[in-house]
């Protein structure tokens, strides 16, 4: 990575619209967010192409012109001759105009090489990046761009190493691993020396897989402040892009003045990820990784890779928090404490309370452990008793009348208002949406309710303190999550 004093962070916002009216509107919005605007002219109707080019003469931001064929990720079929004609007869020139030209056309056009990006795209996987880089670096283009599809998060390693090589060789580069597994390259790229990163206008206008919203790059991930001293934390799971944990932790970093960033890490192979990107003794990535939140399906599997696990997590049989401490990985479970804290605040003592838990997975396991430690009497309910490895009752025929507390530890709405009739409290561990169907059924049955966001924040607060040694504001964390969830 670079120090904040030696780097330039650039966010490029692509504009890709089919008709001129939409193109004009998108350009106006892009100017508000972008350091550079990429005009994806392969998107626009051919009849509007000349008008679009004329519209961006004297544009208020530097622009990148792109006229990409479908085989390189463009939005329509373009013959080689069509592309050559565009670059030689229609493309604008100027000190604030960049050309992004594919490798096959480099010999046939005569751009201002000091403002040219020569690019290669692969949407199937990660080919030999060194070979492709060597080919592109032989051209006079100022910037080399390579974008490849990450099929697993460890594909980011090769992209990071490519950026490191280019910086050593004083070559400007844009290197991106596309897809959800590659998001770390988009957020951390500029701090490692990449020429720019791309950010979409909004959630629905991404022009490549895994492209992050431009506003989120700066407001959520604090892109401009990331440097070689930034502490890296993240959420490990499959999937993870739906999670509000980045909003929770990044808000806490900002409030407490911590130079840190929390990222989503979509991990399919937890073994390779821990070995090649996490463990201090074997990692291939030069970064200040400090902590991880672990979610499904890795809470049990990750345990075999840790150097120490707290006794509580061993008893529960699941780890949801990892701390990188010098040369070791330490494992904790903050789910149990996060689960119980809102209950103690709302209900008080749980001793001898009759509690029903719906589900038998990792979340249920932590809940059972925490409740029994508080002296509660717990009964498990599941849909298919034959598949359960622990004693439980069938959910379909259950009545929860007389229970002091009913906990939903499944992703679904597992019980009806008729079944919940007569229960006192109902606690849904699902936090998105805040108002779940299960909670609505419970209220209509006359139950007092508690939502999963309280648990999410409570366990995240403990994680934050393990990683930073600082006390986080639960209110700041809650408000950050609630804002995203629409409360």
Q: Which residues are catalytic?
A: 299
Query: Tokens for 56?
Result: 């961006």
Count of other CB atoms within 10 angstroms of residue 212: 21
Given a contact cutoff of 8 angstroms between Cβ atoms, the answer to whether 342 and 373 are in contact is: no
Count of other CB atoms within 10 angstroms of residue 413: 17
Given a contact cutoff of 8 angstroms between Cβ atoms, the answer to whether 312 and 430 are in contact is: no
Instruction: Kindly list the strands in the beta sheet with 197-200, ordered across the sheet, starting from the edge strand earlier in the chain.
Output: 172-178, 143-149, 116-122, 97-102, 63-66, 36-40, 11-15, 197-200, 212-213
Query: Tokens 């480099």 correspond to what residue?
Result: 106
Query: Tokens for 367?
Result: 């809940």
In 3D space, the residue among 17, 4, 76 whose CA is nearest the CA of residue 48 turns out to be 17
Given a contact cutoff of 8 angstroms between Cβ atoms, the answer to whether 63 and 103 are in contact is: no
């Amino acid at each position: 990575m670079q120090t904040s004093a030696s780097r330039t962070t650039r966010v490029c916002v692509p504009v890709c619209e089919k008709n001129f009216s939409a193109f004009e509107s998108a350009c106006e919005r892009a100017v508000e967010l972008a350091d550079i605007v990429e005009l994806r002219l392969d998107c626009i109707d051919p009849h509007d192409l000349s008008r679009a080019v004329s519209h961006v003469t004297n544009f208020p931001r530097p622009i990148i012109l792109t006229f990409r064929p479908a085989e390189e990720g463009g939005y329509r079929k373009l013959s080689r001759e069509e592309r050559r004609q565009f670059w030689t007869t229609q493309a604008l020139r100027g000190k604030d105009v960049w050309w992004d030209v594919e490798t096959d056309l480099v010999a046939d056009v005569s751009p201002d090489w000091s403002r040219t990006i020569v690019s290669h795209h692969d949407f199937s996987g990660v080919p030999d990046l060194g070979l492709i880089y060597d080919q592109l670096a032989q051209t006079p283009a100022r910037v080399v761009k390579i974008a490849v599809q990450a099929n697993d998060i460890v594909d980011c390693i090769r992209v990071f190493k490519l950026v490191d090589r280019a910086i050593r060789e004083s070559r400007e580069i844009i290197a991106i691993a596309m897809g959800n597994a590659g998001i770390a390259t988009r957020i951390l790229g500029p701090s490692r020396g990449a020429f720019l990163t791309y950010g979409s206008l909004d959630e629905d206008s991404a022009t490549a897989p895994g492209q992050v919203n431009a506003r989120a790059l700066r407001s959520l991930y604090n892109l401009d402040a990331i440097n070689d001293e930034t502490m890296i934390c993240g959420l490990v799971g499959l999937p993870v892009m739906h999670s509000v944990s980045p909003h929770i932790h990044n808000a806490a970093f900002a409030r407490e003045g911590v130079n840190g960033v929390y990222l989503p890490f979509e991990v399919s192979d937890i073994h390779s990820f821990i070995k090649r990107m996490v463990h201090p003794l074997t990692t291939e990535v030069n970064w200040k990784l400090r902590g991880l939140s672990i979610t499904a399906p890795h809470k049990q599997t990750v345990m075999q890779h840790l150097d120490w696990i707290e006794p509580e997590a061993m008893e529960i049989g699941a780890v949801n928090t990892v701390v990188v401490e010098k040369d070791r990985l330490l494992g904790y479970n903050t789910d149990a404490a996060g689960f119980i804290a809102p209950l103690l605040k709302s209900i008080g003592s749980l001793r001898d309370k009759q509690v029903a838990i719906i589900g038998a997975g990792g979340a249920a396991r932590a809940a059972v452990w925490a409740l029994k430690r508080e002296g509660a009497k717990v009964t498990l309910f599941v849909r298919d008793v034959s598949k359960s490895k622990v004693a439980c009752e069938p959910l379909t025929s259950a009545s929860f009348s007389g229970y002091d507390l009913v906990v939903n530890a499944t992703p679904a709405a597992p019980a009806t208002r008729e079944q919940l009739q007569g229960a006192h409290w109902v606690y849904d561990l699902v936090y998105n949406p805040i108002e779940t169907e299960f909670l609505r059924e419970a209220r209509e049955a006359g139950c007092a309710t508690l939502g999963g966001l309280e648990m999410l924040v409570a366990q995240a607060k403990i994680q934050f303190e393990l990683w930073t040694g600082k006390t986080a504001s639960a209110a700041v964390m809650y408000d950050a999550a609630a804002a995203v969830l629409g409360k």
